[in-house]
Amino acid sequence: MKLLEYEAKRVFAEYGIPVPKGVVIRAPEEVAAHLPDLGDGVVLKAQVDVGGRGKAGGVLFADAKTAVETARELFSREIKGVPVGEILVEERLPIEHEYYVSIAVDRSSRQPVVLFADAGGVEIEKMAEEDESAVRRVIVSPLLSDIPPFLMRELLGGAPKELAPVINSLYHVFQGKDAMLAEINPLVTTARGVYAADAKLIVDDNALARQGITVNRDLSEREREAEKHGFSYVELDGSIGVIGNGAGLTMSTLDLIEFYNGRAANFLDVGGGADQERVMHAVKLVASMPGVNVIVVNLLGGITRCDEVAKGIIAAGVAPTVIVRMAGTNEEEGRRLLAECGYRMLDSMDTAVKAAMEVSP
């Protein structure tokens, strides 16, 4: 479960991580009462559970004169299809430098891995692609209650040593909250000290009861539609839509898109035995996502019939380009139907993803 930013910051503060002064508002007029505490310059952040919030217009800056109107503007927006119901209003920090730090589970070693970069507030994946040395990483034994000093020195390099206590506290959050990801991007230095300017915390769903966390999220219209049809559906921040049957096949498609430097817009698993109607709803759902200009449909036909898949794609009749890779039961009939309607059907997942990259570079 991914906590909203203000929820994550409350947890961080409990563990001694400095966070900016802030307040959550649910109506534009509420911001005025808090300006004396927050100062003249403020940052307004939409509290929505989507990736790429800043680029989608979910973070705005204001001063005392424009704060109410800016809040009203932000409340009127939808961020990637999700209406804004809460805004975190924070003091605007006098930032001197931004860093990146995150802690996740390294699948190879099955231990926590801490990532650190001397530049924050950017997409860490893109930074690592351009320069692998820009992101430093250390593996920490889960049996240790703190990050050892020698590992901390390796992690920080030439960065200020004042960051070390905050990173160590983030490690305590990761351990104490059964986290799958604990991230600060950016971790900033100011004349007043070090602050977590942003916060991300994903808690293992299996530990929600132990952590006393109750799931209470307003689903977007697309998430409600996916839930209605029983799809496994997660929204991401790319432009290439993905539909598969089976979590493994769908995740492999996402991995291949990432391998070719693309960005997937979603994960959608239609499940086994998908018929024409089910496939149609899946294609329409993904096509409705803002920014999606191509959809990769990657299905293996066992109990799922390829001709039913083809009929569902054709019935959806969506605007984005649909590129299909499917194999199995009634494959030839499915190919014939798609070819008659001008759809591209390719023989392998690799060629299908490459074709999608040509449409959405």
Residue 183 known to be catalytic: yes
Contacts of 354 (CB under 8 A, 6+ apart): 260
CA separation for the pair 195, 160 (Å, rounded): 13
Instruction: Give residue for tokens 């307004």.
Output: 44
Catalytic residue among 5, 90, 91, 183: 183
- Per-residue H/E/C for 187-233: EEEECCEEEECCCEEEECHHHHHHHCCCCCCCCCHHHHHHHHHCCEE
Count of other CB atoms within 10 angstroms of residue 260: 13
Q: What is residue 42's three-state secondary structure? A: strand
100 counts as catalytic:
yes
Catalytic residue among 99, 100, 171, 343: 100
Q: Which phi and psi angles does 325 have, rounded to 5°?
A: -130, 115
Which strand (E) or helix (H) includes residue 252?
helix 247-259
Which residues are annotated as catalytic? 100, 183
